C-alpha cells in the first residue's frame, strides 16, 4: 500500500511516516520544507518532495511525482497544519485566513485531488485527516481561528466519507490532544506569555488536563493514523477518533 503524508517533515507527520514504513507501507514524505522532507525520507530510504497544501498545482505535481516513484497511491494522511495564539478581539484578517487556508482548505484540496485519482482509476483507498481535540469543543482561549479550522476538518471528513463511500474510499479523522512536537514547544511559549506563566508551568497545566497523566507523543497519534489506514479499520468511515489521553472528554 502506498501512502502520501503531508507535513511529514516533523511532528505527527514524521512519526506517521516512520510507523508506516515500519509496517511495510510505501511512503511519500511531503512537506512545505523540502529539506525537512528529504531528511525524513533519507531515514526511511523513501521518496520525498515539496508540497504546499494551499496550492492545487503543488499538490498535483507532488502526487504525480509520488506515483511515479512508489506506484499508485492507496492512502493519504492530510496532516499539514499551522497554529498561532491570538485573542478573538485582536484577530488580524491575515491570521484568520492563514489558519483556514492551511488547516481546512489544504485538507479539502489534498483530499479532492487524491479521491479524483482513485475514482478515475476505479481504485479503493483510505484518507485520514488530522484534526484536533479543538475540533471536539471550542472552550479554548486564544485559538478561535484554529478551533474553527479544525471543527471544519471534522465536518468535511464526515461529508467526504458519505459521498465517497460508494467508491470504496474511506475517510476518517484523528483528534490529537496535547502532543509533544516542535509546534507545541512554540505554543508553550506563546501561551505562557498570554497567561503570565513560564512554558514549564503551562506544560504542567497540560499534564493536569490529561487524565492519563502524561503528554501524548507523536507516536501515539501515528498508531491511530496507521490503524485507520489499514485493513483492521475496513468498516470504519466518517469517524473523528479522539487520541488525547482523555483530555476534553465529550
Residue-wise pLDDT tens digits, 228-240: 999 999 999 999 9
What is the model's pTM? 0.93
Is position 178 annotated as part of the catalytic site? Answer: no
**Region of residue 138 (phi > 0: left; psi between -120 and 50: alpha; otherwise: beta):** alpha
Pick the CATH number of 2-178+217-243 from 3.40.50.720, 1.25.40.10, 3.40.640.10, 3.30.420.10: 3.40.50.720
What pLDDT is recorded for position 135?
94
Confirm if 37 and 49 have CB atoms less than 8 A apart. yes
Spatial distance between the Cα atoms of 197 and 52, rounded to a whole number of angstroms: 35
User: 133 or 204: whose pLDDT is higher?
Assistant: 133
The domain spans of the chain are: 2-178+217-243
Any residues with CB less than 8 A from the CB of 113 and at least 6 apart, and which? 56, 59, 60, 63
Selected catalytic residue, list 109, 146, 178, 206: 146
Give the integer Cα–Cα distance in Å for 184 and 202.
Answer: 11
pLDDT in tens, 144-170: 999 999 999 999 999 999 999 999 999
pLDDT at 245 over 80: yes
SS3 138: coil
Q: Are 61 and 53 in contact (CB under 8 A)?
A: no
Beta carbons of 43 and 114 less than 8 angstroms apart = no
Q: What is the C-alpha to C-alpha distance for residues 57 and 49, in angstroms, rounded to an integer?
A: 13
Amino acid at each position: 500500500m502506498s501512502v502520501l503524508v503531508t507535513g511529514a517533515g516533523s511532528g505527527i507527520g514524521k512519526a506517521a511516516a516512520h510507523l508506516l514504513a515500519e509496517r511495510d507501507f510505501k511512503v511519500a514524505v511531503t512537506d512545505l520544507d523540502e529539506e525537512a522532507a528529504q531528511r525524513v525520507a533519507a531515514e526511511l530510504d523513501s521518496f520525498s518532495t515539496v508540497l504546499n497544501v494551499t496550492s492545487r498545482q503543488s499538490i498535483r505535481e507532488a502526487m504525480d511525482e509520488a506515483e511515479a516513484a512508489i506506484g499508485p497511491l492507496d492512502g493519504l494522511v492530510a496532516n499539514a497544519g499551522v497554529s498561532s495564539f491570538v485573542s478573538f478581539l485582536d484577530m488580524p484578517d491575515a491570521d484568520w485566513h492563514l489558519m483556514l487556508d492551511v488547516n481546512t482548505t489544504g485538507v479539502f484540496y489534498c483530499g479532492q485531488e487524491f479521491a479524483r485519482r482513485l475514482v478515475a482509476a476505479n481504485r479503493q483507498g483510505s484518507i485520514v485527516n488530522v484534526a484536533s481535540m479543538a475540533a471536539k469543543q471550542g472552550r479554548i482561549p486564544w485559538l478561535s481561528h484554529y478551533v474553527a479550522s479544525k471543527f471544519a476538518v471534522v465536518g468535511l471528513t464526515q461529508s467526504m466519507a458519505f459521498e465517497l463511500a460508494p467508491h470504496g474510499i474511506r475517510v476518517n479523522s484523528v483528534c490529537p490532544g496535547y502532543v509533544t512536537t516542535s509546534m507545541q514547544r512554540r505554543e508553550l511559549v506563546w501561551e505562557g506569555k498570554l497567561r503570565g506563566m513560564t512554558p514549564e508551568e503551562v506544560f504542567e497545566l497540560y499534564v493536569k488536563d490529561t487524565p492519563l497523566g502524561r503528554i501524548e507523543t507523536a507516536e501515539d497519534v501515528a498508531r491511530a493514523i496507521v490503524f485507520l489506514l489499514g485493513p483492521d479499520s475496513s468498516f470504519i468511515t466518517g469517524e473523528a477518533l479522539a487520541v488525547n489521553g482523555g483530555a476534553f472528554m465529550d
